[in-house]
Amino acid sequence: MLDFIWGLIYNPFWLFAYIFGILSVGQIAFEVAKMINREFLRTPLNLPERYGKGSWALITGSTSEMGFEFCRQLAKQGFNIVFISTRLEVLQDSAHKLEIEYPQVKTKIIEHDFAKKNTVDDYKQLKKDLNGIDISIIVNNAEIVTSKYFKDITPQESLDMVNVNCTSCTMLVHQFINDLLKREKRSAIINVGSLAGYAPTGFQGCYSGTQRMLKFFTYGLHDNYNNKIDVLGLNPGTLKTKESQETSCYCITTPDVTVRNGLRDLGYEIETTGFYAHTIKGGLISIFSRYATPIFDAVSKNCMEKKALEQFRKDHLAKKQS
């Protein structure tokens, strides 16, 4: 043993390698212990008690599957819900469904297209429409996703993506931050991003850039306001939705699981994926981000080809039937 120690002392390279190895193993063990605690041991916080029973949760993109899951699960805990989305008839239908499921919950709907209504005055008007409402939770869930080479995205598509994915969350927080800080109870901000913000992707370059911005914005808000506001970045991987047509497997989950686990981690974490397999995937991507890019590109390309093939099949069947 003494010979081993003296060997390390007299050989700085092996000493450095040994220390680095111990620290790396310790970091991995710490992250595994955190994941076990989060998934199996830790008790979720009582959100109505923490943020105020009967207060309001504002959810953007609230008519998407992920957005409606936030509405449903927060309503189940006793929060009133502000729906914000682009289509009035879908908003009305979603609010009606929620009121039937949870009669005690109040709802308010706002038709707002963040791609088109993106001036300072537009956001001031949105805030004015919600005057007198005690908003305790903001869920920035609205987003636009594209899987194309950057040259194939139109300038308008790029501008819309930045306005919806980045400008909307920034400006909404701007409008409500002072109200959240003045509340007697704590408040919460949940920024819904994705694993695409962990590494650059060739087929989603603009999109992954917006997700990276959202990730850093979340950390900045937490550092400044964690004494009064719980800030959480929810960054899931691939989800199985009605639109995505993804097949079930161990590494794919659903919006309801992701939202449930995101709310479970609210108040404890700054960032979560909402699913253990996505957490492992996110950790590997963070460590090997540059090397993960070709894999991301291959997966994105494969998804695009699958969607194109499926669309061709549908069109072909439609022609045969006609």
HSE of 216, CA atoms in CB hemisphere, 13 A: 6
Q: Helix, strand, or coil here: 161? A: helix
Angle between helices 168-182 and 120-129 (to 10 degrees): 40
- What residues make up the domain containing 90? 51-291
Contacts of 268 by beta carbon, 8 Å cutoff, 6+ apart: 38, 42, 45
pLDDT (tens digit per residue) in 257-288: 999 999 999 999 999 998 888 887 777 777 66
Asked if residue 217 lies in contact with residue 232, where contact means CB atoms within 8 angstroms, the answer is no
- Please compute the mean of the pLDDT values over residues 300-307 and round it to a whole number: 57
The DSSP result for 6-28, as a single string, is HHHHH-HHHHHHHHHHHHHHHHH
Position 2 pLDDT exceeds 60 = no
Residue 218 has what pLDDT? Answer: 98
Q: Is 287 a domain residue?
A: yes
- Please compute the mean of the pLDDT values over residues 55-65 and round it to a whole number: 98
Position 249 pLDDT exceeds 90 = no
pLDDT bucket at 294, cuts 50 / 70 / 90: low
Residue 40 has what pLDDT? Answer: 81
Which of 76-80, 90-94, 182-186, 302-306 shows the lowest per-residue confidence on average (mean pLDDT)? 302-306
Burial of 163 by CB count in 10 Å (0-12 exposed, 13-18 middle, 19+ buried)?
A: buried
Q: Which residue did the predictor score with more confidence, 161 or 205?
A: 161
pLDDT bucket at 7, cuts 50 / 70 / 90: low
**How many domains does the chain fold into?**
1
Q: Is 33 a domain residue?
A: no
Q: Is 55 a domain residue?
A: yes
The DSSP result for 205-273, as a single string, is HHHHHHHHHHHHHHHHHHHHHTTTEEEEEE----B--TTT-PPP-TT-B-HHHHHHHHHHHTTT-SEE-
Q: Is 239 a domain residue?
A: yes
pLDDT (tens digit per residue) in 193-241: 998 888 777 667 789 999 999 999 999 999 999 999 999 999 998 888 7
| pTM, 2 dp | 0.84
Residue 204 has what pLDDT? Answer: 78
> Could you give the C-alpha distances from 104 to 54, 99, 180, 193, 290, in angstroms and in order?
10, 8, 24, 31, 50
Residue 202 has what pLDDT? Answer: 66
Residue 240 has what pLDDT? Answer: 83
Q: Is 191 a domain residue?
A: yes
pLDDT bucket at 252, cuts 50 / 70 / 90: confident
Asked if residue 75 lies in contact with residue 102, where contact means CB atoms within 8 angstroms, the answer is yes
Q: Is 266 a domain residue?
A: yes
Residue 19 has what pLDDT? Answer: 77
Residue 92 has what pLDDT? Answer: 98
* Residue 75: CATH number of its domain: 3.40.50.720
Q: Is 30 a domain residue?
A: no
Q: Is 188 a domain residue?
A: yes
Residue 98 has what pLDDT? Answer: 98
pLDDT bucket at 308, cuts 50 / 70 / 90: low
